[in-house]
Amino acid sequence: MYDTVIIGAGPAGMTAALYAARSNLKVALLEAGIPGGQMNNTVDVENYPGYALISGPELAEKMFEPLENLGVEHLFGRVEKIEDKGDFKTVIIEDEELDTKTVIIATGAFHRHLDVPGESEYNSRGVSYCAVCDGAFFRDEDLLVVGGGDSAVEEAIFLTQFAKSVTIVHRRDELRAQKVLQDRAFANEKIHFIWDSVVEAIHGDDRKVNGVTLKNIKTGEERQVDFGGIFIYVGLDPVSDFTAGLGITDELGWIVTDDHMKTAIAGIYAVGDVRQKDLRQITTAVGDGAIAGQEVYKYVTEHS
């Protein structure tokens, strides 16, 4: 039996594993993909203490490196369910069950879809949710970025190194991104803006995307505009479906915790982007993970 099973190997999960393992706990770090989470989709990290500039994948690698030497077991699998059995919990994955004294949920969040005609049809054929992953495939194209927050503006700026032009469409008449990012976008001659508008449909041919229908939400006017690629950044949804029935989420699926990362169930903790919180950054994820790593140590020692 494990002392703790950490579900998700983003910055929150890896930090929790670091702290728990340094407390001599038996730790399993369970991940469905490569370690790093959303960091792997970030080209430049400029707001992490100690680094003026570091790539997301490089930072993920540096966070993961020390864990093996500390005895953390790195497991692969997608969690289907967590069962609370009182003194211990069972984490059920596709073909295995893991018994553990505690669970730390660090599964993060995923990009929300527009749910408009053509979006799923042209996913990976011109529709993307990751500029870092796909930007180089769109050289000399006119691209559309949907959204007005930090991610949308950061990715629009990134795309200008490949694209002929980048247009940001936003449902409001001003961006929500940090001012430093807004200033960079407004100063970039390749970036254009369409305000008070939403994407109503995505169009293409047999091969790929070739444009969208935009609707001005103030006037109701619709028009079709040609684009060679669509990058969507309209918010996040938590990866928490497997917690259904535990009663630890709010109505939107974000896991509710106290300041000690404790959920409504003793021995189950949540950290990082999956947690109900205001600021979702690498730094806040790391802070959550450190707290949870200490809390599971306290829990295990008190219940042993």
Q: Report the alpha-carbon angle 241-243-247, nearest 5.
A: 120
The residue annotated as part of the active site, out of 87, 99, 115, 134, is 134
* Burial of 52 from C-beta contacts in 10 A (0-12 / 13-18 / 19+): exposed
> Catalytic residue at 133?
yes
Angle, helices 56-69 vs 11-22, to 10°: value is 20
The residue annotated as part of the active site, out of 130, 142, 196, 237, is 130
Give yes or no for a contact between 154 and 181, defined as CB atoms under 8 angstroms apart: yes
> Catalytic residue at 130?
yes
The residue annotated as part of the active site, out of 3, 84, 115, 133, is 133
Output b/e per residue, 85-114; b: 16+ Cβ within 10 A. Answer: eeebbebebeeeebebbbbbbbbbbebeeb
Show which residues are catalytic: 130, 133-134
